[in-house]
């Protein structure tokens, strides 16, 4: 059980503050590695991240290293090593790629070298624009669910899915970051198998709070909280303060539908989809990431059918974000099949709609000035205690 509630300010420190406090200095080589520090990217309570460049190859990457003050803290070094091993074992387009794992030669602190991503985490994106449109949220959800599916099929649970750990790249791809809390699913073996109860209290699934066995459905609960925040601009329990009240909310309080708070029209089907992910009993949630993703095409298709959209939305006052649409919505809908082809039409429209959304993201329609991976300062290990 967590011992305290860490209610984060989500405010990134200035570049100057990062420079002053960084354990590695700009222009110096990380001891015992071929990586030269370019600039600090972020810092949490356990580790810090730097943009680095390979001394011979000139390749840029992100180096994540344990803070010197945490070098002797039990289990933290092992967590960084486990993260690298899991990422090496489960390679997927929607998981950040690990390039190297090792120990600094001067003090033995573990480090990871990860691919350098250009874009921003979803916390920063949400802070920039207020809410994401429904189509954009579904396009991102589709990618994150693919990454989670790969992780779960390999036998691991992320255990700390949250806005700060999901990254929206400038090319339109979405990546799952920071597997420092990842563990094998209940009863499994492999990196991270130490039996600790880990997670961020604000986004922990009920079974994590209760100390029960955890499987991939805990990640789906946390993703439900993320999706809720993306379309509504806030989470269902954002009014809750204090660890005991949070525990009660996650275990016993029924969340209001996202449409209750959203400043944009929310389809009733989307309300139901997100609320199913937030069921208290894992057996009442989706059985898998694949099962949750399988419902996305049916959620997308009505967004491009005016008649269906008008009949199936809860309409609040204001829409904050433009909806990215195909260049020719009418061209996306094939003729009706006289042999009962409405379902086929729906599937084709859904596929084209999702493809259009991905193209829109890749074109940078929803992104402003980029930042590099590592700018997430809320280290998930720092925001939990066991």
Q: Which residues are catalytic?
A: 160
Is residue 106 within 8 A of residue 297, CB to CB? The reply is no
Residue 122, Cβ neighbours under 10 Å: how many?
24
SS3 at position 57: coil
Please list the residues that pair with 167 across neighbouring strands. 121, 175
3-state secondary structure 195-235: CCCCCCHHHCCHHHHCCCCCCCHHHHHHHHHHHHHHHHCCC
Is residue 372 within 8 A of residue 41, CB to CB? The reply is yes
Is residue 372 within 8 A of residue 40, CB to CB? The reply is no
Q: What is the C-alpha to C-alpha distance for residues 286 and 73, in angstroms, rounded to an integer?
A: 37
Is residue 79 within 8 A of residue 112, CB to CB? The reply is no
SS3 at position 332: helix
Is residue 251 within 8 A of residue 206, CB to CB? The reply is yes
Residue 93, Cβ neighbours under 10 Å: how many?
12
Is residue 95 within 8 A of residue 174, CB to CB? The reply is no
């Amino acid at each position: 059980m967590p011992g305290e509630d860490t209610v984060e300010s989500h405010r990134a420190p200035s570049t100057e503050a990062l420079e002053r406090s960084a354990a590695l200095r700009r222009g110096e080589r990380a001891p015992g590695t071929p990586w030269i520090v370019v600039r600090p990217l972020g810092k949490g309570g356990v580790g810090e991240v730097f943009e680095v460049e390979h001394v011979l190859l000139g390749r840029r990457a992100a180096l994540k290293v344990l803070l010197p003050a945490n070098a002797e803290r039990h289990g933290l070094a092992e967590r960084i090593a486990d993260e690298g091993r899991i990422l090496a074992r489960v390679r997927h387009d929607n998981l950040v790629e690990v390039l190297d794992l090792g120990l600094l030669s001067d003090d033995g602190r573990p480090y990871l070298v990860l691919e350098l991503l250009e874009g921003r985490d979803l916390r920063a994106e949400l802070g920039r624009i207020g809410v994401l449109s429904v189509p954009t949220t579904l396009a991102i959800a589709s990618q994150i669910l693919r990454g989670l599916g790969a992780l779960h099929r390999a036998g691991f649970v992320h255990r700390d899915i949250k806005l700060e750990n999901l990254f929206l790249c400038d090319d339109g791809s979405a990546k799952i970051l920071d597997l420092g809390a990842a563990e094998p699913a209940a009863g499994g073996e492999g990196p991270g198998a130490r039996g600790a109860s880990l997670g961020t209290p604000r986004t922990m699934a009920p079974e994590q709070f209760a100390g029960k066995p955890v499987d991939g459905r805990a990640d789906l609960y946390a993703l439900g909280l993320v999706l809720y925040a993306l379309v509504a601009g806030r989470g269902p329990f954002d009014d809750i303060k204090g660890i005991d009240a949070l525990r009660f909310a996650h275990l016993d309080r029924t969340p209001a539908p996202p449409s209750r708070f959203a400043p944009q029209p929310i389809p009733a089907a989307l309300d139901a989809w997100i609320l199913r992910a937030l069921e208290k009993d894992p057996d009442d949630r989706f059985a898998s990431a694949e099962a949750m993703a399988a419902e996305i095409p049916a959620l997308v298709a009505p967004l491009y059918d005016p008649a269906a959209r008008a009949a199936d939305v809860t309409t609040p006052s204001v829409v904050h974000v433009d909806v990215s649409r195909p260049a020719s919505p009418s061209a996306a809908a094939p003729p009706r099949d006289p042999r009962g082809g409405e379902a086929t039409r729906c599937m084709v429209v859904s596929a084209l709609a999702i493809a259009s959304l991905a193209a829109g993201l890749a074109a940078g329609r929803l992104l402003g000035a980029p930042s590099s991976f590592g700018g997430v300062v809320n280290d998930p290990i720092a925001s939990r205690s066991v």
